Amino acid sequence: MDFGPYLLLATLEGAVGAAVLALTALGLALVFGVMRIVNVAHGAFFMLGAIIAWWVADRLGVGSALNFLAALIIAPLAVGAVAVVAERSVLRRLNYNPESTIVATIGLLYVIEQVALMTYGPDARPVVAPWDFRIQLPWFGYSGYKILVIGASIAILLAVWWGLTRTRIGLMMRATQFDSETARAFAIPVDLVYGGVFAFGAMLAAVGAVLVVPIQQAHYLMGTDPLLLSFIVVIVGGLGSLRGTVLAAVIIGLSDGIISVFFTPTLAKIIATLAVATILIVRPRGLFGTRPT
Amino acid sequence: MRSLRVNKAVTLHLGAIGVLFALQFVLPDYHHVNLARVMVLAGFAMAYNISFGYTGLLSLGHAMFFAAGLYAAGLMARFAGVGAEGGLILGVIAGLAMAVAVGLLALRTTGVSFMIVTLMFAQAAFLTIFYFGEYTRGDEGFIIPSGLRTLFGFSLVEPATRYLVALSLFALCVAVSHGIARSSVGRVLAAIRENEERTRMLGYNVFLYKLAALAISGAMSGAAGAAYGFLFGYVGATFASIQYSIFPLLWVLMGGAATVLGPFAGTLLMFYLVDISSAYTSANMLIVGLALIGLILFFPKGILGTIRERAAPWLP
């Protein structure tokens, strides 16, 4: 293949990665922004979403499109439920203390991962893509499903943006993020907002996972990479800036795809991690952060 | 009053070292090796405690300092035939140099950014080990030849010497931690942890103090890494992975941050928790996870932190 088409393929692959990453990172950024806690178990919620998606598709068996659609609805709801339980029973009791919640969510990460290992097992299993359509470009054929992932991600991001800026619930969330004590004084149920945001963040990760599972198989350790990348994205984008998070996801997802075309994967990762560190050293608040961390 | 408090602490630490010394004569082989391992890892945990517990620097990249010591010692042994004497010194230098280099850059950030920057540097270090896989053999790692594992003529393959060297390292780390906690520098570090702005306003060069804390922490981590390599003979990339950056954080939090013996208590408990649970289930990290959640819910200050709060306020 010539250089041009090769670059196009790399860009497309990068865009799919960026689409999933944007959803996952947005979930982490919401939790971080509103609740001011670092959810280390975010990757575990991602993995749980993928595994439940496989389970739903496997049990239902009514054709790949319906299976997938059912998984897309059931998996995020189930993951949201798990997140609510965890939030109410552990995080709330810790009073959302930043350091304690890091430890607690590391514990939660181990618990979810190990329960997945005990029930689902150590194998990697795929979910069949809902449609089997290839877009034929002049140089290569490209999976239509991957284009669908990009479209779905953009639609969900727009919906979240609309929800945050145009609805009453979004207003409550933003008020809580801005100043939780004043929000409480204005009769906003901050406690409920926290529970809801935590569940919603986990659900976004689960949606990302369901979208990715036809491309990349479900495995009990699959949450580590999304977690690390989401962390990077949230910090580079700037804490509290959702726009920055999405933009950083696009930049990092795309460059991840493109850099790995030009360098060996290991060297590409070394360059990428050092680049992220450099960005943070030069701009400690991230690219779009305004508030001190 | 003050001298009484100091004496109590010194007595406690000497007592703990004495008990560990006596234990080597009564422990069965299996626990004998385990305890040696725990003491070395506790050295790493105490190193982490200096930057995290006393200074409030939450680093997620300490594995790179441990690995710097481990690999400096291991690679020099493998390719230059350096023994444990030189290896340990090299390990300390490597850990120190790495901590100063990382600190000069990473300490420009604070809070969560600092966490991520250290995580990124550690990840880059981890990947570098793979990049030079020709020499390091990546994940698989390599063995330090047992002929080189000698310290002043004593073979470190011998369990008894190994235990004593581990104990010496441990005692040294306790002494350093105790010294820092009791010194005026230690008080400045605690002040930085409690209120960085105010400390700066009082005229202290906060950056230099933080760099010093990180440097000492890095040097101690490097020493623990080099000792681990020479005592147990294996050098591998696992020790540079994220997991080994999270472990010292867990050990310190479990035992009690900013207590001298807390890191040891945490390491010991965690080690045996994993050890015992792996006899019953392959999913032994489940027990660890539940233990973590339980501890943070009911003993948020860690074991020694809780004791200090409730019974012994003099605990260092």
Q: Give the tens place of pLDDT for each residue, B182-230.
A: 888 888 888 888 888 898 888 888 899 999 999 999 999 999 999 998 8
Q: With a cut of 90, say whether residue A199 has pLDDT above it.
A: yes
- Residue B160 sits at the chain A interface (C-beta within 8 Å): no
List the domain range (segments joined by +) for residue B279: 2-310
Tell me how far apart the alpha carbons of residues B136 and B128 are, in angstroms, rounded to a whole number: 10
The more confident residue out of B29 and A210 is: A210
pLDDT (tens digit per residue) in B224-249: 999 998 888 888 888 888 888 888 98
CA distance A48 to chain B (A): 15
Predicted confidence band of residue B42 (pLDDT cuts 50, 70, 90): very high
Please list the residues that pair with A203 across neighbouring strands.
none
Max CA pair span of chain B: 60
Is B316 part of a structural domain of the chain? Answer: no
Q: Are the beta carbons of B27 and B46 closer than 8 angstroms?
A: no
* Out of A150-164, B46-60, B104-118, B191-205, least confident range: B104-118
Predicted confidence band of residue A292 (pLDDT cuts 50, 70, 90): very low
* Out of A175-179, B167-171, B311-315, least confident range: B311-315
CA distance A56 to chain B (A): 24
Q: With a cut of 60, say whether residue B5 has pLDDT above it.
A: no
**Which amino acid makes up residue A45?**
F
For A286, name the nearest residue in chain B, comparing CA atoms only: B113
Instruction: Give the tokens for residue B315.
Output: 């605990």
- Residue B306 sits at the chain A interface (C-beta within 8 Å): no
Q: Are the beta carbons of B181 and B50 closer than 8 angstroms?
A: no
Tell me how far apart the alpha carbons of residues B171 and B266 are, in angstroms, rounded to a whole number: 16
**Contact: B111, A293; criterion CB under 8 Å:** yes
Q: How far is CA A153 from CA A160, A282, B233, in A?
A: 11, 31, 49
- The pTM of the full predicted model, rounded to 2 decimals, is 0.82
Tell me how far apart the alpha carbons of residues A259 and A183 are, in angstroms, rounded to a whole number: 44
**Contact: B120, A281; criterion CB under 8 Å:** no
Q: Which residue stretches of chain B are H helix? A: 2-26, 29-49, 63-80, 84-106, 111-131, 133-136, 159-182, 184-194, 196-201, 206-232, 243-255, 262-277, 285-298, 302-310
The more confident residue out of A82 and A286 is: A82
Q: With a cut of 90, say whether residue A48 has pLDDT above it.
A: yes
- Residue A35 sits at the chain B interface (C-beta within 8 Å): no
> According to the model, what pLDDT value does residue B99 have?
94
Instruction: Give the tokens for residue B163.
Output: 């235990």
Q: Are the beta carbons of A51 and A220 closer than 8 angstroms?
A: yes
Tell me how far apart the alpha carbons of residues A62 and B201 are, in angstroms, rounded to a whole number: 68
Q: How far is CA A45 from CA B67, B125, B179, in A?
A: 30, 28, 44
pLDDT (tens digit per residue) in B255-277: 888 888 889 988 998 888 888 87
Is B315 part of a structural domain of the chain? Answer: no
Predicted confidence band of residue B70 (pLDDT cuts 50, 70, 90): very high
Q: Are the beta carbons of B315 and B307 closer than 8 angstroms?
A: yes
- How does DSSP assign B199-258, residue by residue? HHHTT--HHHHHHHHHHHHHHHHHHHHHHHHHHH-EE-GGGGSTHHHHHHHHHHHHH-TT
Instruction: Give the tokens for residue B16.
Output: 């703990």
**Contact: A235, B116; criterion CB under 8 Å:** yes
For A289, name the nearest residue in chain B, comparing CA atoms only: B113
Mean pLDDT throughout B303-310?
A: 79
**Contact: A107, B292; criterion CB under 8 Å:** yes
Tell me how far apart the alpha carbons of residues B36 and B41 are, in angstroms, rounded to a whole number: 9
pLDDT (tens digit per residue) in B78-88: 787 777 778 88
CA distance B283 to chain A (A): 6
Predicted confidence band of residue A291 (pLDDT cuts 50, 70, 90): low
CA distance A275 to chain B (A): 9
Mean of pLDDT over chain B: 84
Q: Are the beta carbons of A155 and A95 closer than 8 angstroms?
A: no
Tell me how far apart the alpha carbons of residues B237 and B239 are, in angstroms, rounded to a whole number: 5
Predicted confidence band of residue B101 (pLDDT cuts 50, 70, 90): very high
Q: Determine phi and psi for A130, rounding to 5 degrees.
A: -65, -25
pLDDT (tens digit per residue) in A224-237: 888 888 888 888 88
Mean pLDDT throughout A204-210?
A: 94
Name every residue whose Cβ is closer than 8 Å to that of residue A285 and which is 6 or more positions away in sequence.
Answer: A238, A239, A291, A292, A293, B113
Q: Are the beta carbons of A233 and A249 closer than 8 angstroms?
A: yes
Size of interface A-B (CB pairs under 8 A): 118
Predicted confidence band of residue B134 (pLDDT cuts 50, 70, 90): confident
Return the CATH number at B116: 1.10.3470
Mean of pLDDT over chain A: 86
The number of CA neighbours under 13 Å toward the Cβ of A10 is 17
Instruction: Give the tokens for residue B75.
Output: 């690679």
Is B304 part of a structural domain of the chain? Answer: yes
Tell me how far apart the alpha carbons of residues A244 and A30 are, in angstroms, rounded to a whole number: 12
pLDDT (tens digit per residue) in B137-177: 877 778 777 777 777 767 767 788 888 888 989 999 988 98
Pick B112's closest partner by Cβ from A94, A113, A239.
A239
Tell me how far apart the alpha carbons of residues B308 and A69 are, in angstroms, rounded to a whole number: 55
Q: Is B146 exposed, middle or buried (0-12, 13-18, 19+ CB in 10 A)?
A: exposed
**Contact: A111, B286; criterion CB under 8 Å:** yes
Q: Is B279 exposed, middle or buried (0-12, 13-18, 19+ CB in 10 A)?
A: exposed
Predicted confidence band of residue A243 (pLDDT cuts 50, 70, 90): confident
Q: With a cut of 50, say whether residue B1 has pLDDT above it.
A: no
**Contact: B286, A115; criterion CB under 8 Å:** yes
- Residue B113 sits at the chain A interface (C-beta within 8 Å): yes
- The total number of structural domains that make up chain B: 1
Is B124 part of a structural domain of the chain? Answer: yes
Name every residue whose Cβ is closer than 8 Å to that of residue B59 and which is 6 or more positions away in sequence.
Answer: B48, B51, B52, B114, B115, B118, B214, B245
Pick A276's closest partner by Cβ from B120, B281, B300.
B120
Give, in degrees to the nearest 5, the angle at Cα A212 between A211 and A218.
120
Q: Which residue stretches of chain A are H helix? A: 3-35, 42-60, 64-86, 98-119, 144-166, 168-178, 180-185, 190-212, 224-237, 242-262, 265-282
The more confident residue out of B50 and B11 is: B50
> According to the model, what pLDDT value does residue A210 have?
93
Coil/strand/helix, residue B279: coil
Tell me how far apart the alpha carbons of residues B107 and B117 are, in angstroms, rounded to a whole number: 9
pLDDT (tens digit per residue) in A77-112: 999 999 999 999 999 888 888 777 888 898 899 899
Is B288 part of a structural domain of the chain? Answer: yes
Mean pLDDT throughout A263-279?
A: 78
